[in-house]
Amino acid sequence: MISLIIKVTVNPERVDDFVKYITEEAADCIANEPGCRQFTISKSVDEPNIFTLAEFYDDMAALEAHRLTPHFLLFQERVEKYNLVLDRERVLGEVIHG
């Protein structure tokens, strides 16, 4: 199983928009992608514009297929169009336990 953990710094003026769009994206992933096992969204308790996304896929092929879906491409378009994200850090891993 593949994990993708992303720390996202959201434009403070666009937090509500980000939450709306990322929750839509997560729901679409779970509902429409058989290779997506989990997609969680966490908001920092200390900094209201810092989020952590934790995505889990069966394998790299499932993750790569995710990146081609219409809902993912729409989310990426919204991120760019509305200047939602200021910074992001990604860690791609292979799950070894859990």
Share of the chain above pLDDT 70, in %: 100
Distance CA 68, CA 50 (A): 26
Q: What digits encode the pLDDT tens for the residues 23-43?
A: 999 999 999 999 999 999 999
Domain 2-94, CATH number (from 3.30.70.100, 1.10.240.10, 3.20.20.80, 3.30.70.20): 3.30.70.100
Task: Provide the pLDDT for residue 71.
Answer: 97
Q: Model's pTM, two decimal places?
A: 0.95
Q: Where are the domains of the chain?
A: 2-94
pLDDT bracket for residue 68 (50, 70, 90): very high
